Amino acid sequence: MDKILVHGGHRLSGSVKISGSKNSALPILAATLLTKEPCVVRHVPDLSDIHYMLQILSHLGAHVERASGTVRVQAEKIRSVAPYDIVRKMRASVCILGPLLGRMRKATVSLPGGCVIGDRPIDLHLKGFEALHATHRVEQGNVHVHATKLRGGTAHLRGKLGPTVLGTDNVMMAAVLAEGTTVIEGAAEEPEVVDLANFLNKMGAKIHGAGTSQITIEGVRKLHGAEHDVIPDRIEAGTFLVAAAIAGREVTLKRVNPHHLDSVIQTLQQAGFPVSSTKTTVTLQGKARPLALHITTEPYPGFPTDMQAQMCALLTRAKGQSSVTETVFPQRFMHVSELKRMGARIDLLDHSAFIHGTPRLSGAPVMASDLRASAALVLAGLKADGITEINRVYHIDRGYESIDEKLNNLGAQIERVKV
């Protein structure tokens, strides 16, 4: 197990290339199960979650090759059962349910279990499958989904906390091989959903409306192989923008889609940071301290929950009092207690963090609780006095490709130490 040591006080400058999106690559790799023909997916990030997904595809019978960010998958003969030992390591593995149901008309997948940031059930996924005339049952920790014939229907996927991204992905992947037309109401509008739809359309699917709250899928008899470039990771990009705001002079992100970052860019501009962009780059200029902000997380195109922890880290040093309200995963404030160990002044009330800005943080031993909390602690350490020791950094390797190396190339001083 590794830990990360962040030596604070070093300014960032230069440019960094953003990796492919984890949250696009995972369902796109799962979608390769929908055809017997080979598929090639490029800009696949080197992350532990990706490694687990490739293991799952191999276990199901697919032939998988990987080299330098390019993955080739041929799922000529596959099985429909994914057991607990291989699924338990990654919650997103649930996205294999849709393609297995679509191609095999049945799937048995172990439930991935709970999550430190709160309850993340798959009831909306199963509700969507029911709209396609599939049945399901849960036995001994496994969900079994079956359909004698998949037929199009209307699936309502908006839950009490908003749309479900993986649920939208799952139903879309099952529906592409169903008879007739399927309509997903209350669909997630995230760019990663659009990216999956674009890949499926390259395979011969007929999907319209991705990126809106209503997606229409006209079923086809079969899909063929395709090649695809995964979109840039907007959360990694946002994280590096916040790093630049915390400790940067001027930092430029390369291979990004600025439109995907609209809410993050606007929020950083409101905090007083000059941000400029081209079609594929975003540049932020640093300043002494940010202005206080009041942020509420929302489904896309609102401010992303996956950027909430990083913004908390930035606002610990803001001038005045800020507030951050979490509406997507209300329990997602595990990082607050660790930031307080570094001298942050934060009060939690219900689903909001009230952050009283302070000029200085101090390095301390802290514990990472989840992926984005890990990133927030690294960012806070960039500006803290002394050394911040971050334990359980396996969380950060789930979603950030070589974050320590990339930050060091910008001027940070970060060590990765074997424990």
Query: Among all residues, which ones are annotated catalytic?
Result: 115
CB 247 within 8 A of CB 13: no
- The backbone region for 326, taken as left when phi is positive above 0, alpha when psi lies in -120 to 50, beta otherwise, is beta
How many whole angstroms from its chain centre is CA 125? 18
- In angstroms, the CA 187 to CA 390 distance is 37
Nearest to 395 by CA among 56, 91, 19, 79: 91
Task: Give the CA distances from residue 369 to residues 15, 21, 117, 366, in Å, rounded to whole numbers and listed in that order.
Answer: 29, 22, 9, 10
Cα–Cα nearest to 69, from 15, 29, 14, 27? 29
Tell which residue, 208, 187, 83, has the closest CA to residue 128.
Answer: 187
State the Cα–Cα distance between residues 248 and 328, nearest whole angstrom. Answer: 30
- Residue 230 backbone dihedrals phi, psi, to 5 degrees: -70, 140
Whole-angstrom distance, CA of residue 64 vs CA of residue 30: 12
For 418, counting Cβ atoms within 10 Å of its Cβ (0-12 exposed, 13-18 middle, 19+ buried), the class is exposed
d(CA 16, CA 232): 12
Are 151 and 135 contacting, i.e. CB atoms less than 8 angstroms apart? no
Q: Is 363 left (phi over 0), alpha (psi -120 to 50) or beta?
A: beta
